[in-house]
Structure 1
Amino acid sequence: MSQVMTGITRLTQQMPTQTRQRRFVLGPVVVLVVLAFFVLIAIGIVQSEVGAGGVLLGALLALLPVGPVVAAFLWIDRWEPEPPHLLLAAFVWGAGVAACIAIVLNSVAGILLDAELGAEEGGLITVAVVAPIVEEAVKGLFVVGMLVFKRREFDGITDGIVYAGITAAGFAFTENILYIGRTFDEDGSGAATLTVVILRCVFSPFAHPLFTAMTGIGAGIAAASRRGSGAWLAIPAGYVVAVLLHGLWNASGTLGGGTGFVGVYAVVMVPVFISLIVLSVWQRKREQRIVVEQLPGFARAGWIAPSEITLLSSLAGRRNWRAAVRRQSGRQVEQAVARYQAAVTEMAFLRARMARGSVGRLAQKWHQEALAELLSARLAAVGHPQALTVALRHGGPRGGRPPQNWTPPPPGPAPGQRQQYGPLPPGLPPQSWPYG
């Protein structure tokens, strides 16, 4: 027990100082400001091509698919939701940085190829070859950056799909403004504009997210694999698949007329889209299995109460828990429970990655930080005793009936006393750590 208390003391000493906390706040703000600057540049470039009226109409219509697309990826990400500021950064990167770079590079390549090969052949190569290579590179760069610089937030394939999808949704938003606005400026009757809106916002709102998700899957495989150069080959492999799908999609609109587009849509895009849905659902079930397998060990270690295992083992149980707490005690207590649930999931995923050997030399540091957050989150929830009891008494996952042999968890240590925690589950982490 003395080792456990020593470990908790060390964790407390490692908590961020006010200076470090200011840096944690200032850093994301600076990044978002820079990304927003690129968004303004991208909008300025679009406006120079289509005019203010086209930009306004294009932006209004381009917003239509954004909500459903983003909501779909947030649904995939429900077991371990990614930090909102990172998801916002992903969308802004796609809408600003990626779109700005792609517009410039595609335009330059189009001018050079038109001069060299002629307008028809040069335009085809630009659309079917250059654009997919450039656009999938600038979109995928954010996903790879997350894997490199935010490795702890990147657990596997689900995170890769989510970050790729949100980034691509931002890119598609800006691109839709450009295409819709340009067609509006050139279209006298409005029929062509309506056709573009239907094709891009109704029939293919997931096109860009689907392409970039291939790079995200590659990054997710690399994140979940044992450290080594071989795992990182999944990223360029995913990028190549993304480029091929994107190139085939772009070429179908130019070659073969409407028949080519319909054929590629039905034979390639729809099956790939369905496969991505199946993969995402399978990954969600896999994440649930990881959490369920880890919870008994957490209870033996004293990190959670045994009676909480049932509530933490399913999304429905967690949702009912939070809803019951909100009705009984308000949103502040609900937020304490939500933070506690997220900390449990984070620890479960981390220990699963450690067991696979995919964390490396940062394992000890990350485990210390995750344990500190878990203990802190539970103490905050224990500070509101109803947060840990009301769900099982009012509308829990068994219709309000507590699990067999259930007893309410203790209300926490008395004033002036320390919280008691049992030994770690056997296996991970090594006994040399300050928690064994």
Structure 2
Amino acid sequence: MTGANSSEPARHRPASQGVTVLLPVVGLLVAAVCGLLLFGLGTARVGATAVGIGVVAATVPVAVVVATFLWIDRWEPEPAPLLLLTFVWGACVATLTALLINDTAAAVGDLLLGIGRGDKVSAIVSAPFAEEAVKAVPLLLLLWHRSREFDGVVDGIVYAGFSAAGFAFTENIYYFGRAFAEHGFGDATSPGVLAAFILRGVLSPFTHPLFSVLIGIGVGVAAMSRGRTRKVLAPLGGYVLAVGLHSLWNASATLGGGSAFINVYFLVMVPVFLGVAMLVLWQRRREERIIAAALPKMASARWIAQSEVELLASLAGRRRWRRQARRESGRRAARAVAEYQARVTELAFLRRLPAGGSERRARRDELLSRLRAARAEAVRLASEGGTRDG
């Protein structure tokens, strides 16, 4: 048909595609500029050698943190480009923005309260509010523009964790670099980069992610809610909790002595960390139960094969399937199987989404189309024997 209704989507599709392509490019360019500015500021303050030492030292904890959030995200992995953009945002844009705000707050604090007191104002007041806000930007953009990427609380935790991991990575580079510039590697009388590494990289690598995960939980709850009130209050409540915990942590290190810091670490931070860890484990088990309950119905509807139910019901079964596909047909076939598994999970999670009626049916049809395309690709590669690439 050539009527007005049928031509309307055609007119808007190019613009939509242009925005979809343009936004990531602009985001990467902004992040690159911010990264260059941060590198210039770092070398100006502590020197290029110290920055290099900081990069090496900061890589270890961030690798552990990122690996942990990837492990959390195993049932329905989020798109790698989005995770990368979220990490880069935290490492470059969020860090530079927070640095400018915190430096301004410190300067104002020095003017109003006296020289030397501005840093305390910045650490206890400005830093928690500003840093948690800028780290949360990618989550709010996804919730607003691509809410379908959220299948539950776990997704909010993962995106928040990646943004905070990027932020902590850049921040650690500066702290480790400054410790090296001032005290070298350190010794018994003058703690240097080794002491800073133990404090930030061993004892508290999850500090920034822990704060932001509270916001991620709120965003995940909002994504699963139909009521507008909960959609607003859940992320806001997570932000308030993140700011409060962040401020308490900074105050214990800035105002309190060693005993205050230790008390906050063991009596507050460790219990909160364990509580979030238990929530993550519970959510993962809940996801597994949801998928296990949905698979027989999907097989009855002939969306998947009956023989695939057992393979898809556990992470171990899915891993064996991918390994078999790789062994018999190559990496491309294994990636196609992984894509198919992810589409099955999305379809299984559909019943948890707040949308109903025609919107739910449209989403189901879209997911079914993607599932069938992924399955067809996996079957094609398997039948062709794949392309072995190592």
What is the deviation of 1:331?
1.7
Tell me the SS of whatever aligns to 2:136.
Answer: helix
Cα distance, 1:226–1:131 mapped onto 2, change above 3 Å = same
| Residues 227 and 358 in structure 1, CA contact (< 8 A), matched pair in contact too | no
* Residues 24 and 148 (structure 1), Cα distance of their counterparts in 2 relative to 1, 3 Å cut: closer
Query: In 2, are the aligned partners of 1:73 and 1:165 still within 8 Å (CA)?
Result: yes
Report if the CA contact (8 A) 2:224-2:352 is conserved: no
Give 2:285's aligned residue: 285
| TM-score between the two structures when normalised by the length of structure 2 | 0.89
User: 1: distance between equivalents of 2:192 and 2:36?
Assistant: 27
User: CA–CA distance in 2 between the matches of 1:361 and 1:265?
Assistant: 50
Alpha carbons 2:329, 2:382 under 8 Å: kept: no
Change (3 A) 1:207 1:135: same
Distance 1:149 1:323, change over 3 A: same
Unaligned runs of 5+ in 1: 1-12, 388-436
CA deviations over 1:82-122 (Å, ceiling 9, x no partner):
00000000110000110000000100110010111013433
SS of residue matched to 1:107: helix
Residue equivalent to 1:50: 46
**2:90: which partner in 1?**
94
Which residue of the partner structure matches residue 37 of structure 1? 33
Instruction: State the distance in 1 between where 2:359 and 2:85 align.
Output: 25
Counterpart-to-counterpart distance in 2, 1:319 and 1:136: 36
Q: Which has the higher helix share?
A: 2
Give the equivalent residue in structure 2 for 1:373: 370
Partner residue, 1:106: 102
**1:213-362 pair list within 5 angstroms:** 213-353=213-353, 357-358=354-355, 362=359
Aligned to 1:74: 70
What is the match of residue 395 of structure 1?
none
| Unpaired runs of at least 5, structure 2 | 1-8, 385-390
Are 2:42 and 2:174, in contact at CA under 8 Å, matched by a contact in 1? yes
Distance 1:289 1:211 in 2: 28
Match in the other structure for 1:115: 111
Q: Which residue of 2 aligns with 1:61?
A: 57
Distance of aligned partners of 1:119 and 1:284 in 2 relative to their CA distance in 1, 3 Å threshold: same
Q: Cα distance 1:206–1:260, how it changes in 2: closer, same or farther (>3 A)? A: same
Cα distance 1:128–1:344, how it changes in 2: closer, same or farther (>3 A)?
A: same
2:205 is aligned with what amino acid? P
The residue matched to 1:302 in structure 2 has which SS? Answer: coil
CA distance in structure 2 between the aligned counterparts of 1:217 and 1:359, rounded to whole angstroms: 23
Aligned residues: 372
**Residue 162 (str. 1) matches residue 158 (str. 2):** yes
Residues 94, 169 of structure 1: 8 Å contact kept: yes
Q: With CA pairs under 8 Å and 6+ residues apart, which has the higher RCO, 1 or 2?
A: 1
Secondary structure of the residue aligned to 2:176 is helix
1:293, CA displacement in angstroms? 1.7
C-alpha contact (below 8 Å) 1:137/1:239 kept by paired residues: yes
Query: Aligned equivalents of 1:171 and 1:206: distance in 2?
Result: 11
Change (3 A) 1:342 1:152: same
Root-mean-square deviation (Å): 2.5
Q: Bigger shift: 326-335 or 110-119?
A: 326-335
Name the larger-Rg structure. Answer: 1
Q: Deviations over 1:284-323 (max 9, x none)?
A: 1111111112112211221111111111111111111111
C-alpha distance in structure 2 between counterparts of 1:263 and 1:62, whole Å: 26
Q: Deviations over 1:321-377 (max 9, x none)?
A: 111222222222222211111111111112331xxx347874344323211101111
Q: Which moved more, 1:312-321 or 1:286-295?
A: 286-295
**CA 130–44 in structure 1, closer or farther in 2 if over 3 Å, else same:** same
Contact 2:105-2:121 within 8 A present in 1 as well: no
